[in-house]
A and B are shown apart, each in its own frame.
Chain A
Amino acid sequence: MKEAAMKFDIEKIRADFPVLTRKVHGKDLVFLDSAASSQKPKQVVEAISNYYLYEHANIHRGVHLLSQEATSKYEDARKKVASFINAKNDHECIITKGTTDGINLVASSLGEHCVNEGDEVIISHMEHHSNLVPWQMLCERKKAKLKVIPITDDGELDLEEYEKLLSEKTKIVSVVHVSNTLGTINPVEEMIEKAHDVGAYFVVDGAQAVPHIPVDVQQLNCDFYAFSLHKMYGPTGIGILYGKESIMNAMPPYQGGGDMINKVTLEKTTYNDLPHKFEAGTPNIAGGIGMGATIDYINEIDWKAAHEFEAEVMDYAHKKLSEIEDLRFIGTAEKKTGAISFLVGQIHPYDMGVLLDQLGIAVRTGHHCTQPILERYNIPGTVRASFGIYSTKQEVDQLVQGVERAKRMLG
């Protein structure tokens, strides 16, 4: 075992997540659905609860103490998350409702700024619907073309095809960093460089990456990077859209309202500076404060050791699951993290999911909002086990026993 993983105190971590002690259908909960949404440590929940009980006031406008305190906590959270992803400036981190919201913002505003009739936008075949539909909508609106990078049988992007798709017509490339269905880690850094060579902007859907691998937006040199806090032990309804300052300054605002303005007359409005230009209306203040507490939590535990521990659990799961007869993995990329999708013989994933639930094991079944992937592999869905910093090898063993038992009933 690696030194860092040895140091990692899994029992201490699990004690931070009270939900893990729950019984489900009379059995110990085995929570393997963190890719859909992770559980929350009590430190984050307490921060939100304290804010509502003792600290609540609207932010950015009040002269009174409560408002000033809430404002500085909210803005501190932005600073913390900016430093967490190594953004050059805090104001390059737009606080959103989540990844979907962030991608819609870019598709709408950057799309308005740079996509015209006949231009091209590139996505991949493994995108979550949230990084597909907004671009389809943009292309329909602008009479632009949506091009799709194919995937190999292993579930990796076909990079040769990607290079062929790139041209001076390409205005935006938007690709998922880690696939929520296949678990594939895509080589976005080299893809970004190639997109920049033809003058295209590069957007990264980082929803499944930020919880599992280190993300440094300056090193990636991406133009935009969107993610959600609720998949990384934070609250729901809050996320970050990182964007380069110069590009975002040139983009038109997304939504109009309070906070995003500089001066309003009945004839004309001038807009506020970044990040407020893209943050109309009273934000999710509690979510923002929860975001700050989430980053504090991550900084407090050994994040690197947690990732190494998680990777070990995932390797173990691959090994143990592969010993089940007739089990096949959907997504066998060389570099994977977070999620393992599989099918057993002809068993419908729904049946497997229902019986595993009965045994206290929470997995996801279905299309995982990636219907084009299912079409690509001609399957009705997958069973997906996904992991978090609190996942253990014992839980993997329980999953394997559960799959064996369900298989006997359904075979």
Chain B
Amino acid sequence: MSKTINELQDEVIEDFSLFDDWMDKYEQIIEFGKELEPLEEDKKVEENLVKGCQSRVWLIPEDENGVLRFKADSDALISKGIIGLLLKILSGHKAEEISSAELYALDEIGLKEHLSPNRANGLANMVKKIKMYALAHQAKD
């Protein structure tokens, strides 16, 4: 039985609880980016871009027997890590679970609070795009 979104959030919170220093937290975030499934070069196009990020972030959904999996990449490692962190939590669940998920982990680890408004906006847009895909997928069913 695969883990629920909240179980995955709790795991992330635990991972981050090991670090006091934000440099270490960034190191961990960069690691999440490295765990992402690679995104094909031909998918790195304008329509797959997440708007409002200072670097380019591409995101695509894939339907695997009723479960939504996402692939993503970025030209910056920290952005890639942040999307990696989000997908670690949100990828691989049913569309309705994703669209209704309450992302408490981002507050808990202090990421939202830590980012400047510009960058927090980029993070919010990533979450929005993931949820939009999930909602669109639900509407199709």
Contacts and interface: CB of A to CB of B under 8 A. Distances in A.
A359 B26 CA distance: 12
Most buried by B among A365, A405, A410: A410
A257 to B, nearest CB: 34
Contacts of A25: 22
Contacts of B30: 409-410
Contact of B26 (A347, A348, A350, A355): A355
B1 interface: no
A348 B77 CA distance: 8
A398 to B, nearest CB: 14
Contact of A348 (B22, B27, B76, B119): B76
A258 interface: no
Contacts of A347: 77
Interface of B: 22-23, 26-27, 30, 54-56, 75-79, 119
Interface string A354-384: 1100110000011000000000000010000
Contacts of A359: 23
A69 interface: no
A409 B24 CA distance: 10
Contacts of A380: 55-56, 75
A25 B75 CA distance: 26
Contact of A410 (B56, B75, B77): B77
Contacts of B77: 347-348, 351, 410
Given A409-B27, A410-B30, A350 B78 contact: yes
Among B23, B54, B75, the most chain A Cβ lie within 10 Å of the Cβ of B54
Interface of A: 25, 347-348, 350-351, 354-355, 358-359, 365-366, 380, 405, 409-410
Contacts of A365: 54
21 contacts: A25-B22, A348-B55, A348-B75, A348-B76, A350-B54, A350-B55, A350-B78, A350-B79, A351-B77, A354-B26, A354-B78, A354-B119, A355-B26, A355-B78, A359-B23, A366-B54, A380-B55, A380-B56, A405-B23, A409-B26, A409-B30
Contacts of A405: 23
Nearest to A357: B116
A350 B23 contact: no
B76 A358 contact: no
Nearest to B23: A358
Contacts of B119: 354
A380 B77 CA distance: 14
A354 B54 CA distance: 11
A351 B78 contact: yes
Contacts of B23: 355, 358-359, 405, 409
Nearest to A405: B23
Nearest to B22: A358
Contacts of B26: 354-355, 358, 409
Contacts of B75: 348, 380
Contacts of B79: 350
A355 B26 CA distance: 8
B64 to A, nearest CB: 31
A380 B54 CA distance: 10
A359 B22 CA distance: 9
Contacts of A358: 22-23, 26
A366 B76 CA distance: 12
A119 B36 CA distance: 54
B126 to A, nearest CB: 14
Interchain residue pairs A-B with the least CB separation, the first 10 = A348-B76, A350-B76, A350-B55, A351-B76, A350-B54, A351-B78, A351-B77, A354-B78, A358-B22, A358-B23
A350 B122 CA distance: 13
A331 to B, nearest CB: 21
A409 B23 CA distance: 9
B90 to A, nearest CB: 23
Nearest to B122: A350
B82 to A, nearest CB: 10
A351 B27 CA distance: 11
Contacts of A351: 55, 76-78
B35 to A, nearest CB: 16
Nearest to B25: A358
A281 B70 CA distance: 55
Nearest to B116: A357
Nearest to B79: A350
Given A350-B54, A358-B23, A358-B26, 15 more contacts: A347-B77, A348-B55, A348-B76, A350-B55, A350-B78, A351-B55, A351-B76, A351-B77, A351-B78, A354-B119, A359-B23, A380-B55, A405-B23, A409-B30, A410-B77
